[in-house]
Structure 1
Amino acid sequence: MGDQPTQQLFILDGMALAYRAFYAFITSPMRTSAGLNSSAMFGFTNTVASIIDKESPTHIIACFDAGKETARHLLYPQYKANRQTMPDELRASIPYILRILEAMRIPILRMPGYEADDLIGTLTLHAEQRPAMYSYMVSQDKDLGQLLSPTCLMWKPGKRSAEHELIDCERFTADWGIQTPEQIIDILALMGDASDNIPGIPGIGEVTAKKLIAEYGSVEELLARTAEIKGKRRLVIEENADKAILSKKLATIDRHVPLEFDLDSGKRQEYDADALCAILHELEFKQLATRLCGGRPNVQWQPGDLFSPTPAAEPETHTAPPAQNSDGQMLLFEESSLKTIDDIPHTYHLVTTEEERNSLITRLAAAPLWSFDTETTGLDPLQDKLLGMSFAFTPHEAYYVPVTDGFDLQTFRPAFDSAAEKIGHNVKFDLEVLHANDLATSGPYFDTMLAHTAIAPQLRHNMDDMAENLLSYSTIRLETIATKDGAIDTASVPLETLARYAAEDADITLQLALHLKPQLEKQGIAALMQNIEYPLLPVLASIEEEGMNIDPAILAHASGEMGLCLEAIRERIDTAVGRPININSPKQLGDLLFGEMKLLEKPKKTKTGQYVTDEETLRRLVPSSPLVADILEYREAAKLKGTYLDALPRFISPKDGRIHTTLLQMVTATGRLASQSPNLQNIPIRSEAGRLIRRAFIPRNEHYAILSADYSQVELRIMAALSGDPHLIEAFQSGRDIHTETAARVFHIDRQDVTPDMRRAAKTVNFGIIYGISAFGLSQRLTCSRTEAAQLIDSYFSEFPQVKTCMDDLITTATHNGYAETLCGRRRLLPDLASANGNLRTAAERTAINTPIQGTAADMIKLAMIRVHNLLEGKRSRLIMQIHDELLIDLHESEHDIIPSVIAAMQGALPLPNGVPLAVDANTGRNWLEAH
């Protein structure tokens, strides 16, 4: 290890340590006198305290998963799908562990969209840039081995009373039979990882994977040299090449998370002894409290309003309080306090006769509101069989209607056509199930999943967890009644058992709705849900049901063309280099660009000494060498070929030959829609590969065309409207090109003298301002000096002064309120605006500027979708997709006259203040490419 470091950063793999502590006592768990399982809290605290006592770290930080989907889930929806659900008692322990860390004054890092491993990887990379700092990853996870370096080690807790182990590069590589720690990624890519559901290559286990990587060095090199492999193994590897590449992406830790976190914020601090002692006494760890903080008097909390913690007037002995999340929301987690169906009086009805059904339908049609749920044989609403429906009018009473062969579902049309508010949990799924069975529905709707997402986006939104947290109730779990031969088989559940389960679902959904409605009002977002999100549900259901027609022959032809294009680029690169080079090998590329060509004086290197060749680095080098542009073009083309051209045919439904993506309504912070399986939101428009992909999306038959209706420069128009800047408003009102207008003003020239380069620079400034771009960021995008970039920004604000005033006002208002808000009232909490950490505060200020703009654009397109969907009701044409600011419609040949109405509907979806007009470009074509 060389000289001893003057700084030692210990990074806690929080969830891994919590699991380890919980299972260490699994055969004889520790419990408080109130029955709370305290094993995880005790083991976790003991481990952290021992590290602090024995290792004397100068810095210590804890990393946790954020509980959100990550880029890996978007890349591979089955990622971690096989992982068992966290035990309820362990889940109940996490809020206590977070409170313990806060009392120990250890920073807690979580970031939506990233796993704890990514945060750890980023922190260790930052630490490597400090010559006097060593980092120690407190974990047993082999995946973290890829991060090891001469200054980054793994501190592996010992079992029971055993001493911890310190694992360095030399030991790790020797254990795995590899040359560099990073090659563990290649081994995992081949053998897969059952715990994370990383597929790997079928038939290749750990031994074979080690052997292949020892011989070939990397997955990419192995795939490039499969001709050297004999027998069946070669065929298996070649047939599963895409799986290997995918698996490597899934196994690779992201070391460039935009944390905006200064390592010095993790400097070791003294405990908050009073707070630490209070929670240790709550958990009845008296000896641990005496050891760590001298046994100060106990301080307790007692339950208050679910969303407003209230200090107890008097301590209560042995009271395990509700845990609090980061927003101060109390979550009722104690296992002993959760009620079940056997604890609460209820009346659940099994409806089997025609008379009972007719009576229920009459009540449904006349009631002001009711909850409903569908039971199906699986999770595909378009193809799985409907088994039954459940309904509830009042808490603790519900009805289950089995749907058997010959059942006339149309008898329920009066109920679903009524003016009653229909309440559900994940309503979109239920609507698709009913529509697939030819039962039409109408609103209004209330979705408890969406409501809870709007109120507490950082929490889990499945009904089971919500029932525990909000109602102190433990629901019947499907896996406990429907598991057969290791798989869920709902169809085999006895009728009475399924009826009880389904009726409880409708009952709990109704109770959750009654609980959440006042919270929506209290937080000022009820109107947003009623006007946008709930009316959007049938629109999204319709889009998913319709699907998009795609021509696999065009995709196959495009894949072939792209393959030829890739070969041409490869030959061009080989010719320029003077020898064959493996473009997929970061090592070969790095050695070429920086070792031989020396395109940078001080190129960045990875922890293993390999040159960094990521996209950001290469894009900065494009002006220096046309070879780099070819490399980037090859990478993008290869990615799109594998992700779309070759993969899209696998998503074609055998039922109707169309692709049915899943639209995610509220997973983004701005309110933008996302899509998965497949993700159609990330298909580029300007690249040749993107154009080839769009060409394959075609109308449903020869009597239709694709209509594309696309908002023009909507975010810039929103900025003009919010700021009220007269120059921007006048430019939009007159229909002049906004980027030319901006260039003329910032460069102080006439419009006719604006060059293409000037217009491009102005365009970068226009869009950069929306995101609060800095002079450094602008200089990177324009490849100019920071001084020139700063002058451009200053000139922009000089010419458009009200934009600067608007940005300052947005930050001030958000700081005062604690959130940023769109024109429609969508809110985004920004607690970091009050942070003492300058980096966190600056990032939050940029978000405070961007959210009202980008979020308003998201609201606008959603409102447009609702209006266009309603416009098309009763017509042959159908809304089939939304991509960013664009709507796609299957337009029947007899209905071309509706195009002006579509444009008008979009332009009137959300009128902007200060008279800023909205523009919509609408075109038709034989495919998506022609129409766009």
Structure 2
Amino acid sequence: MTKKKIVLLDGNSLAYRAFFALPLLTNDSGIHTNAVYGFTMMLQNILADEKPTHILVAWDAGKTTFRHKTFGEYKGGRQKTPPELSEQFPYLRKLLTAYNIPQYELDNYEADDIIGTLSQLSEVDKSEVVVISGDKDLTQLASEHTTVFITRKGMTDIEKYTPLHVMEKYGIEPPQIIDMKGLMGDASDNIPGVPGVGEKTALKLLKEYGSVENVYKAIDKITAKKLKENLVENEQQAYMSKELATIEVNAPITISVENLSYDGPDMEQVADIYQELKFKTLLEKIAPQKAIEPQQAIDVGVLTNPTDEDFTDEMAIHIEMMDENYLTADIIGIGLADDNQVLYMSFAVAKESDAFKKWLQNPDNKKYTSDSKSALASLANQGMAIEGIEFDLLLATYIVNPSTSYTDVASVAREFEYTDVQQDEFVYGKGAKKSIPAQEAVAEHAGRKVQAIWKLRPIIEEKLKANDQFELYEELELPLAKILGKMESTGVKVDRDTLRAIGEELSVKLAKLEADIYDIAGEKFNINSPKQLGVILFDKIGLTPIKKTKTGYSTAADVLEKLESQHEIIGHILNYRQLGKLNSTYIEGLLKEIHEDGKIHTRFQQALTQTGRLSSINPNLQNIPVRLEEGRKIRAAFVPSEPGWYLFAADYSQIELRVLAHMSQDEKLIEAFRADADIHTQTAMDVFGVSTEEVTSDMRRAAKAVNFGIVYGISDYGLSQSLDITRKDAAKFIDTYLASFPGVKQYMDDIVVDAKMKGYVTTLMNRRRYLPEITSSNFNLRSFAERTAMNTPIQGSAADIIKKAMIDMAARIEAEGLQTRMLLQVHDELIFEAPEDEIEKLKLIVPEVMESALALDVPLKVDWAFGLSWYDTK
């Protein structure tokens, strides 16, 4: 007969632990899920590690227990359960039901009492018992057969209490834990104990006398006057506290150990809950068939000789590729679908089909895609054009909920509870095992994707219209995708020789810095090793360490910057690190990214950031450092792709602050921008109460920091760090600023109130960002959400404006019949390449178009420059 292993879980305690261990998470329905997620992860580990034959989760039945009759203030003073946690308890219970794990609660008793009683019943047949809780009260149950697991930090750091461990840690037996609580009390449960007696004193008394009762029998032997006085005055309170701390092991429970047998979860039910809560990773790991197996059969027609009749005037189209980088990936095939058919053709067939190419290029044929930019760029790389795109699944989903950044059809489909699409890895495999299966499998996979696009389009478009976001989607994001696709295919020319020359120059400087550092240190060492560097700085040179890590002294950049004034070696080390990163990331890194055509083809991520800003990858051209001259020089390698051409750069001047002026309607800000004043000087004048002539460079720097701080989420700590002043002075500065610009202060107050009411904020073009944490009882989460509410409309509106400018510029270039090409968007800057004879035209039309992209109550201002490289445009 197999020996029983009984696992008893303290449900409330573990739910609280999970809730506070993880950041506040919500699914798309706004349901908070962090406690359920953390609890689930812990439960999986318990089932895998402990392999219980019997299991139970015990819950507290209510706020009042039999202990309240003894002491009405028992557990008094506890904060109310956060509503974000309360709403998760039904899902926790539902989860446990799906796992076939028994649950039990008993009126007038706590979960501890249920666990205590069951652990005692298990002693009869010497079953192995594991108790799991975050509450150390339960350590009193530790015995020869019962081990108590107490979660410490997070969900995985567990301390295991056996009688031996209790003795080693406290020097007492597990039952004496009750006496310890009787003497010292327990603030978390509001058990008073004896005033003035802490853990150290309680343990000393118990080691000498054994129990609360024995302490009082020997009260005359206690020589410490104040301690004796406290014990005598609070004798009844000590006995009461011991009683309150004692777990009831004879509770009138109506279940037995036999009721707790465990045979495993109902995976179908578990998968349903994971789907409901959008636990996608867990769903695929625990119930992969539920996650990936299509539910409906599909009939896919494979075209080998397409004709005009195969293509209708309204179809979903999907370009099937095995790799996510569509600029370099091979196209495998094409999926097509409408109400009546699902079709597939290999790309070998598609590129030779005149009927398909004619349909593809006809703008009157409406096409619905999964990713329009990917389709445009990948087909352009094959010399094929696509016109008439009217739907983009990924973009539309992103606008509906920007907190999701899905990159494949399967993920979007599951977001809308459409389960008939597999993820690519289940068709093609992963890593070294990645391969293209038989055409039949590819055809079905691509067919399921394109059918999903066809079926989901009306659902998602309806959501866009309900949110008043269809215009944002149709007039901004969708046309922008076409422009970005063209920019990605065009690429930007990079001169390898120039890049290598810059790299050689950096190498010389690095060698010189290395020699100087060794000379100052008096020995050679690995400058890139934090451990070796720490020994040099703090042991040998004797600098005062600021903070420690597990492996020694911290030599992080923020630490070294604070030490820079203390020793000359620090400046050399900081410079060495910066130049080393430039060399490895931006010289060696960029050289690897140059394609056969001599160009870098970055990919713009249009559906990623919650503010609406574009980002760039493979490589990231928006992140080339410009503060160091050596960083700026890297831009000298970016050149026109045609002889006799120039690069032309135009960027918005202080666009976020102009948007702030418009949105806040602050009179001073509006007046300053209309007068074309230096806004930072103007701010310094207002904040410091000085004239223009009296504004110092430090005043202007401080004003600039707080101006941009408002845009990016100001805090006294952040401002104190950037200006190297105290938090008190920074807070005073912010208060003075807000008093000087009352419109800004009112905007900040109003937007937070509005966000709390609606649950989201919007940009000028109605882009939304949802902020479920803005009503959180957790101060840190709520504060972050409030700052986000203040700055997202500003940053998001600025992002929308430059996107609109890109669309307008593309139209103007075409209307003027220019050869000029748009190459890059870097934050608030647009980069073009153009023949020399079009530069004069660009000087006129680029500022005109960009400055009129969106009408604000203050003028938009654009600065421009041109040259033979990107570096020369500054």
Query: TM-score scaled by structure 2?
Result: 0.69
Alignment of 1:370-409 (within 5 A): 370-376=315-321, 380-394=325-339, 397-404=341-348, 407-409=352-354
Matched, 1:882 2:825: yes
Describe the SS at the equivalent of 1:647: helix
2-side partners of 1:812 and 1:272: how far apart?
A: 26
Aligned residues of 2:648 and 2:864 also touching (Cα < 8 A): yes
1-side partners of 2:292 and 2:550: how far apart?
A: 52
Equivalent in the alignment of 1:586: 530
Residue in structure 2 matching 1:518, options 433, 440, 462: 462
**CA drift at 1:819:** 1.0
Alignment of 1:219-234 (within 5 A): none
Matched, 1:467 2:393: no
Matched, 1:618 2:566: no
Residue in structure 2 matching 1:417, options 356, 362, 382: 362
Query: Percent of aligned positions with the same letter in both sequences?
Result: 32
1-side partners of 2:430 and 2:730: how far apart?
A: 64
Describe the SS at the equivalent of 2:548: coil
Matched, 1:544 2:485: no
Query: Relative to structure 1, is the Cα distance of residues 158 and 821 closer, same or farther in structure 2, using a 3 angstrom cutoff?
Result: same
Give CA-to-partner distance per residue, 1:266-291, whole Å, 9 cap, x none.
Answer: 9xx99987664444334443378999
Matched, 1:727 2:668: yes
Letter in 2 for 1:878: R
Residue in structure 2 matching 1:711, options 644, 652, 666: 652
Letter in 2 for 1:885: D
Letter in 1 for 2:869: N
Letter in 2 for 1:647: G
**CA drift at 1:489:** 4.1
1-side partners of 2:430 and 2:624: how far apart?
A: 40
Give CA-to-partner distance per residue, 1:494-545, whole Å, 9 cap, x none.
Answer: 3x55444433322121112122222222333322212221111111111110
Describe the SS at the equivalent of 1:887: strand
Number of paired residues? 682
1-side partners of 2:277 and 2:459: how far apart?
A: 21
Return the index of the structure with the highest Cα Rg.
2
Letter in 1 for 2:576: Y
**CA drift at 1:407:** 1.3
Describe the SS at the equivalent of 2:643: coil
Task: Pick which of 425-434 and 551-560 moved more.
Answer: 425-434
2-side partners of 1:742 and 1:100: how far apart?
A: 44
Query: Relative to structure 1, is the Cα distance of residues 589 and 559 closer, same or farther in structure 2, using a 3 angstrom cutoff?
Result: same
Residue in structure 1 matching 2:847, options 870, 889, 903: 903
Alignment of 1:767-778 (within 5 A): 767-778=708-719
Aligned residues of 1:339 and 1:472 also touching (Cα < 8 A): no
Query: Relative to structure 1, is the Cα distance of residues 99 and 67 closer, same or farther in structure 2, using a 3 angstrom cutoff?
Result: closer
Alignment of 1:299-338 (within 5 A): 323=274
Letter in 2 for 1:564: V
Letter in 2 for 1:730: E
Query: Relative to structure 1, is the Cα distance of residues 379 and 789 closer, same or farther in structure 2, using a 3 angstrom cutoff?
Result: closer
Equivalent in the alignment of 1:247: none
1-side partners of 2:39 and 2:560: how far apart?
A: 34
Letter in 2 for 1:436: N
Aligned residues of 1:662 and 1:676 also touching (Cα < 8 A): yes
Aligned residues of 1:583 and 1:589 also touching (Cα < 8 A): yes
Query: Relative to structure 1, is the Cα distance of residues 730 and 576 closer, same or farther in structure 2, using a 3 angstrom cutoff?
Result: farther
Query: Relative to structure 1, is the Cα distance of residues 156 and 295 closer, same or farther in structure 2, using a 3 angstrom cutoff?
Result: closer
Give CA-to-partner distance per residue, 1:165-186, whole Å, 9 cap, x none.
Answer: xxxxxxxxxxxxxxxxxxxxxx
Describe the SS at the equivalent of 1:404: helix
Query: Relative to structure 1, is the Cα distance of residues 464 and 326 closer, same or farther in structure 2, using a 3 angstrom cutoff?
Result: closer
Letter in 2 for 1:916: V
Query: Relative to structure 1, is the Cα distance of residues 522 and 646 closer, same or farther in structure 2, using a 3 angstrom cutoff?
Result: same
Query: Relative to structure 1, is the Cα distance of residues 324 and 748 closer, same or farther in structure 2, using a 3 angstrom cutoff?
Result: farther
Query: Relative to structure 1, is the Cα distance of residues 803 and 476 closer, same or farther in structure 2, using a 3 angstrom cutoff?
Result: closer
Equivalent in the alignment of 1:351: 303
**CA drift at 1:429:** 1.4
Equivalent in the alignment of 1:629: 571
Equivalent in the alignment of 1:439: 384
Residue in structure 2 matching 1:285, options 101, 108, 123: 101
Equivalent in the alignment of 1:648: 590
Describe the SS at the equivalent of 2:497: helix
Aligned residues of 1:390 and 1:400 also touching (Cα < 8 A): yes
Aligned residues of 2:711 and 2:794 also touching (Cα < 8 A): yes
Residue in structure 2 matching 1:924, options 853, 856, 866: 866
Matched, 1:840 2:784: no
Aligned residues of 2:593 and 2:600 also touching (Cα < 8 A): yes
2-side partners of 1:674 and 1:793: how far apart?
A: 31
**CA drift at 1:411:** 5.6
Equivalent in the alignment of 1:19: none
2-side partners of 1:582 and 1:398: how far apart?
A: 61
Letter in 1 for 2:476: I
Describe the SS at the equivalent of 2:714: coil
**CA drift at 1:664:** 0.9
Aligned residues of 2:663 and 2:747 also touching (Cα < 8 A): yes
2-side partners of 1:633 and 1:320: how far apart?
A: 53
Structure 1 portions without partners, runs of 5+: 1-42, 69-93, 109-115, 117-136, 141-154, 163-262, 297-316
Query: Relative to structure 1, is the Cα distance of residues 265 and 742 closer, same or farther in structure 2, using a 3 angstrom cutoff?
Result: farther
Residue in structure 2 matching 1:792, options 730, 733, 748: 733
Residue in structure 1 matching 2:799, options 858, 861, 885: 858
Letter in 1 for 2:656: E
Query: Relative to structure 1, is the Cα distance of residues 156 and 798 closer, same or farther in structure 2, using a 3 angstrom cutoff?
Result: same
Describe the SS at the equivalent of 1:707: strand
Query: Relative to structure 1, is the Cα distance of residues 157 and 372 closer, same or farther in structure 2, using a 3 angstrom cutoff?
Result: closer
2-side partners of 1:741 and 1:733: how far apart?
A: 12
1-side partners of 2:696 and 2:452: how far apart?
A: 63
Query: Relative to structure 1, is the Cα distance of residues 531 and 67 closer, same or farther in structure 2, using a 3 angstrom cutoff?
Result: farther
Aligned residues of 1:708 and 1:923 also touching (Cα < 8 A): yes
Describe the SS at the equivalent of 1:692: helix
Equivalent in the alignment of 1:505: 449
2-side partners of 1:157 and 1:332: how far apart?
A: 17
Aligned residues of 1:481 and 1:493 also touching (Cα < 8 A): no
Structure 2 portions without partners, runs of 5+: 54-78, 116-252, 256-267
Aligned residues of 1:547 and 1:659 also touching (Cα < 8 A): yes
1-side partners of 2:43 and 2:411: how far apart?
A: 29
1-side partners of 2:271 and 2:869: how far apart?
A: 62
Letter in 1 for 2:449: D
**CA drift at 1:371:** 0.9
2-side partners of 1:676 and 1:623: how far apart?
A: 37
Letter in 2 for 1:902: V
Query: Relative to structure 1, is the Cα distance of residues 604 and 711 closer, same or farther in structure 2, using a 3 angstrom cutoff?
Result: same
Letter in 1 for 2:447: A
Q: CA RMSD in A?
A: 4.4
Matched, 1:664 2:616: no
2-side partners of 1:834 and 1:482: how far apart?
A: 44
Aligned residues of 1:471 and 1:512 also touching (Cα < 8 A): no
Query: Relative to structure 1, is the Cα distance of residues 568 and 323 closer, same or farther in structure 2, using a 3 angstrom cutoff?
Result: same
Equivalent in the alignment of 1:102: 35
1-side partners of 2:489 and 2:336: how far apart?
A: 24
Residue in structure 1 matching 2:394, options 440, 446, 449: 449
Query: TM-score scaled by structure 1?
Result: 0.65
Aligned residues of 1:289 and 1:295 also touching (Cα < 8 A): no
2-side partners of 1:594 and 1:624: how far apart?
A: 12
1-side partners of 2:536 and 2:763: how far apart?
A: 49
Aligned residues of 1:709 and 1:922 also touching (Cα < 8 A): yes
